[in-house]
């Protein structure tokens, strides 16, 4: 499927739902793949969790409720998700767009998702879960975590099969139960047709290079789908760096996403995960990319001086520049051309982050096409060709 952007069109760019500028976008033929969009399985009524869950877990189905400031929350595993911040602040603070009620129906209604994709010029959308799905590896009840993983993957598969050529889904598995997680990887990919497996940046402070997670990676490699590390905020036992120290969501979001992805990159690259699984593709999502050239240089410097302390067989930069490493960059990141120059133009993928509070929707694709600092070849790679390789899309 190809989006021609033809012959040319005038696009009204938006930021947080408000029109900000009008540009004329010239045609740049090529597929557009959103490497990181989202569904919203926590929206009231989006998923019938009682019906989806297997026994004996139906009675423990996630339940939505209104939090004390009006924002939506989910009660599951004996806790409130997303986690309220210290000093009684809700995870969204005073930012109303965080209220799940403000989400777009395309996050759970496939027909509307396709309309939204067409509005933004997206051919294929790869969807990660939201609060419930991305929380499974932080749950205390391992059995419930597996049951919710299976239920979500079933629901996501049906959502995507409404438009199988355009909607793709990312499975979740419970990292706290590696053997069961590996089985669910196989079922989610082989039986349900999902195209990738999501991972948190850590599990209860255990890095992704921990030996206990290796059976999961082995099965992901066997299924020939990517491991996609996705930063999260506000989820118990998966919390990012920065937020709790400052006591405000502002810092949890500002610092947590990039620094957590930094740590995940360092763990996977420097501790030999990509050596142990030589065919495993890895994507690092929603943490930006402008910092990566610096981290790559710093990893190489440390490897030269004290490389015997880690398991990597080669300089870290060789993995980052290799054909199995991918990282997402926000459409408005000024450093995209620089990152492409330093790590390779084939390594950086586009994400819309549809539809989170800070997503540039609609208008993210026209924004990229209007950029004067990126070449036509860079735009084609960034907007779709790289993600098609990451997810092994036809």
- Domains contained in the chain, number: 1
| Domain-located, residue 323 | yes
Residue 110's domain spans which residues? 28-390
For residue 98, pLDDT over 60 is answered with no
- The per-residue pLDDT for 355 is 87
CB 46 within 8 A of CB 338: no
Please write the tens of the pLDDT for every residue from 41-77. 998 889 999 999 999 999 999 998 876 655 678 999 9
pLDDT at 151 over 60: yes
Residue at 22 is within a domain: no
Residue 17 lies in a domain: no
Rounded-to-integer distance, Cα 171 and Cα 198, Å: 6
Is 171 within the bounds of a domain?
Answer: yes
pLDDT of residue 83: 77
Model pLDDT, residue 67 = 66
Choice between 84 and 25, residue whose per-residue pLDDT is larger: 84
Q: pLDDT at position 261, please?
A: 98
Is the pLDDT reported for residue 382 higher than 70? yes
Question: Mean pLDDT lowest for which of 71-80, 86-95, 181-190, 268-277?
Answer: 86-95
Burial of 214 (0-12, 13-18, 19+ CB in 10 A): middle
214-223 and 178-186 helices cross at what angle (nearest 10)? 10
Domain containing 360 — which CATH number?
3.20.20.140
What's the sign of the alpha-carbon dihedral 161, 166, 167, 171?
positive
Give the pLDDT confidence of 161-172 residue by residue, as tens digits: 999 999 999 999
Asked if residue 8 is part of any domain, the answer here is: no
- Considering only residues 349 and 256, tell me which one the structure prediction assigns the higher pLDDT: 349
Using one digit for the tens of pLDDT, what is the confidence trace for 207-222?
Answer: 999 999 999 999 999 9
Band (7; pLDDT cuts 50, 70, 90): very low
pLDDT of residue 358: 79
Residue 388 φ/ψ, nearest 5 degrees: -60, -35
7 in a domain, yes or no?
no
Residue 266 reports pLDDT greater than 60: yes
| Assigned domain for 262 exists | yes
Residue 195 maps to a domain:
yes
């Amino acid at each position: 499927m190809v989006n021609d952007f033809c012959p040319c069109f005038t696009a009204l760019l938006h930021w947080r739902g408000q029109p900000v500028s009008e540009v004329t976008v010239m045609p740049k033929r090529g597929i557009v793949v959103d490497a990181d969009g989202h569904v919203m399985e926590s929206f009231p009524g989006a998923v019938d969790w009682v019906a989806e869950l297997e026994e004996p877990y139906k009675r423990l189905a996630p339940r939505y409720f209104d939090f004390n400031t009006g924002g939506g929350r989910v009660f599951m595993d004996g806790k409130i998700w997303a986690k309220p911040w210290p000093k009684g602040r809700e995870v969204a603070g005073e930012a109303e767009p965080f209220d799940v009620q403000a989400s777009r129906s395309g996050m759970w209604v496939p027909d509307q998702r396709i309309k939204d994709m067409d509005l933004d010029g997206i051919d294929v959308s790869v969807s990660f879960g939201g609060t419930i799905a991305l929380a499974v590896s932080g749950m205390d009840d391992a059995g419930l975590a597996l049951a919710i993983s299976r239920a979500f993957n079933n629901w996501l598969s049906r959502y995507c099969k409404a438009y199988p050529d355009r909607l793709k889904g990312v499975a979740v598995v419970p990292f706290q139960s590696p053997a069961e997680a590996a089985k669910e990887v196989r079922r989610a990919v082989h039986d349900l047709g999902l195209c990738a497996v999501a991972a948190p940046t850590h599990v209860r402070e255990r890095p992704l290079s921990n030996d206990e997670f290796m059976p999961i990676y082995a099965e992901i490699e066997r299924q020939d789908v990517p491991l996609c590390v996705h930063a999260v905020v506000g989820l118990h036992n998966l919390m990012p760096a920065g937020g709790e120290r400052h006591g405000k969501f502002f810092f949890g979001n500002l610092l947590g996403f990039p620094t957590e992805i930094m740590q995940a990159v360092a763990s996977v690259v420097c501790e030999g995960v990509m050596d142990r699984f030589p065919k495993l593709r890895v994507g690092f999502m929603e943490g930006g990319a402008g910092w990566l050239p610096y981290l790559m240089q710093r990893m190489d410097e440390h490897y030269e001086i004290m490389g015997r302390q880690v398991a990597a067989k080669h300089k870290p930069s060789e993995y980052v520049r290799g054909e199995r490493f991918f990282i997402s960059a926000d459409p408005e990141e000024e450093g995209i051309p620089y990152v492409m120059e330093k790590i390779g133009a084939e390594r950086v993928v586009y994400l819309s982050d549809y539809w989170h509070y800070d997503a540039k929707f609609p208008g993210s694709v026209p924004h990229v096409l209007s950029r004067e600092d990126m070449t036509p070849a860079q735009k084609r790679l960034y907007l779709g060709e790289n993600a098609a390789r990451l997810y092994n899309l036809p």
